[in-house]
Amino acid sequence: MRTASLFAWFGIVGLGVGCASGGDEAASVAFEGGTMGTTYLVRVVPDVGVVVDEAALAEEIQQVLDGIESEMSHYRSDSEVSRFNQARHTEPIAVSAQTFDVVAGAIAIGRASGGALDITVGPLVNAWGFGPEEPAVLPPDGARVQELLEATGLDRLELDARIPTIRKALPEVEVDLSAVAKGYAVDRVAETVARRGHHRFMVEVGGEVVARGTNPGGRPWRIAIERPTAEGGIKEVVPLPRGAMATSGDYRNVREVEGRLLSHTIDPRTGHPVTHRLTSVTVVADSCLEADGLATALEVLGPEAGYALAEELELAALFLIRGEDGSISARATAGFESLRDGSPSATGLE
C-alpha cells in the first residue's frame, strides 16, 4: 500500500513526542533504518528501572524486517513470493508460515470487501506500469486486460494450513502482498518489542503504525495524517492509545499515459485504475495487517461504497475526498469520530 510519508514521523517528532528533553517526560530510545524500499522507526519508552539492550533489540528488529522482505517482496527475484509467482504449475507449493498467514489474512479481508482487495491482481498492476518492470505497451488494451483478469481472483488460490501450502488454480496466477506486507511487518516488530518486556512503544514502517501505551510525555501517541496534496502538510492529528493505523492513497503514485493521470490503485473487479475522487483512506484496527488491507480495499471501493462498508464493519476510518476544484473534504465513520473524541472503546481497540 502506498502510504503518507509524514504519517507517523510528523506525529512523533513534530508534535513533541520524541526523545525526552527534560521536565516530566520519560527518556525514550529510537531505532531506525531501511526495509522494503522504505524506512522504519521504532520508539521505545522503557518502564522505570528498565534498561534497554539497544544493540540486541536493534539487531532483532532488523532481522524480523529482513526476514519478511526476503519472503514477501515482489521486487526481489529470489524472494519466496517471486519463486511462487515464477512456478508455472498447479501443484501445491510449500511456503513459510509467515507468508501463509499473510496470504490467508489478505484473502479474508478480500472476501469481507467483496473482492476489493485481491492479492492476485499483481499482473494487472504491472500491466498498467506500476510494477517492478516497465510494460512493453501502455496502456494495455481491452483484450490484454481481460486476459489478465482471467488469471485473477481469490478463488484462484487454494490454501492448506497443515503443511502449509498454496496451490494455484491456473499456472499463471501470481500474488502481490504489497497491500499487507508492511502492515504485517509492523505487527511482527511490535510483537518483538513487547516480547522483550516493553509496554510503551510505537512502531512505524513506511507510514503504517502500531502504538502501545503512552508516549514519553505520558500521553497517547499522536499520529499525523498527511494532507493528500502536492504541497503535503498535515490534515489531522489523532491520538492512538493502542492499536494500528494505516493509510492508503493515490496522490503520490500516479503516472501520465496518453494525457491521462492514472492511479496506481487497480480495481480487481474491472482490471482498470480507479477513477473516483477518493484520494486517501485511513483505517484504525486491532492489527496493522488488517488496517493496511482494509485501507486498500476501501480506497478501491471509493467514497460511497467504501464508506458504506466501513460503517457496516464498524471500522474507525477517515475518507479524504478531492473536489472538482481541488479542495479536500473529510468524512469520518462513527468509529473514527470516537477516536477523535478520545474514546478508544468505540474503535474496537478494547
DSSP string, 45-112: -PPTT----HHHHHHHHHHHHHHHHHHH-SS-TTSHHHHHHH--S-S-EE--HHHHHHHHHHHHHHHH
Radius of gyration, CA atoms only, the chain: 20
- Cell 476510518: give the residue: 317
Cα torsion 57, 105, 122, 269: sign: negative
Place of cell 539492550: 53
Per-residue pLDDT of the chain (350 residues; tens, 9 = 90+): 333 333 333 333 322 233 333 334 668 999 999 999 999 999 999 988 888 999 999 999 999 999 999 999 988 999 999 999 999 999 999 999 999 999 999 999 999 999 999 999 999 999 998 887 788 888 899 999 999 999 999 999 999 999 999 999 999 999 999 999 999 999 999 999 999 999 999 999 999 999 999 999 999 999 999 888 767 788 999 999 889 999 998 766 666 666 677 788 899 999 999 989 999 999 999 999 999 999 999 999 999 999 999 999 999 999 999 998 888 999 999 999 998 877 554 344 33
Pick the CATH number of 77-168 from 3.40.50.261, 1.10.10.10, 1.10.3980.10, 1.10.3720.10: 1.10.3980.10
For the question of whether the overall pTM of this predicted structure is more than 0.75, the answer is yes
